[in-house]
Structure 1
Amino acid sequence: MEQFFSLYFGQDFDLFGDTVPEIVESYKKDCPHHYGDLIRELESFRSEHPDDLEFAFKRSFSHGFRPEGAGYTTASFLDEVQRVLDR
């Protein structure tokens, strides 16, 4: 997760797309053998932080992209990432 968020949603996230789905699709294209691991990591992160998801996410992954700036909550952003990964 750290590599995914720091690279694809870091300071230069716009190099990978203009929307969350575009950025996640770019990751899937670049890392076709690893995105299953990311799905499991996302699920684990969410289950470890059921009551403090937003705080835990911001503490761990606030490298440039802010989900709320794109109209997401932390939970809806992670839902969107997982939805695109699951396609």
Structure 2
Amino acid sequence: MTPDRHPRMYEIFGAYLNQDYDRWGTTIRQIVSCYKEDSSREYHHELINEINSFVNEHPTDLDSAFEKKYDTGFSPKWWGYTTQAFFEELKRLLRE
């Protein structure tokens, strides 16, 4: 995983939503809340834009592209989400 075109996604999946996610909380809401407290509002908007870009780049292979790019010991499936549904929830929480 490298911060190439999606540095905010690299940041949240590399530091918050990884195998050590429980350091930040036990729910997606808690984990995202920690991320939001640690980052600027501008970063939240950048992350939303990066998610939209990533989704648009992978219209037919979103699950596998996410797994390949951000395999950090975290999977949306473990939380009951598809990758698409997880991204929508993440964007919703970032906008709150």
| Matched residue count | 87
**TM-score for both structures, normalised by structure 1:** 0.93
Choose which of 60, 64, 68 in structure 1 pairs with 2:69.
60
What do you get for the CA RMSD once the two structures are aligned?
A: 1.0
Choose between structure 1 and 2 for higher RCO, CA contacts under 8 A separated by at least 6 residues: 1
One-letter code of the match for 1:30? D
Give the whole-Å Cα distance in 1 for the aligned partners of 2:39 and 2:23.
Answer: 16
1:53–1:74 Cα contact (<8 Å) kept: yes
After TM superposition, where is structure 1 displaced by more than 6 Å over at least 4 residues in a row? none
Give the whole-Å Cα distance in 2 for the aligned partners of 1:46 and 1:86.
Answer: 18
**TM-score for both structures, normalised by structure 2:** 0.85
Gaps of 5+ in 1: none
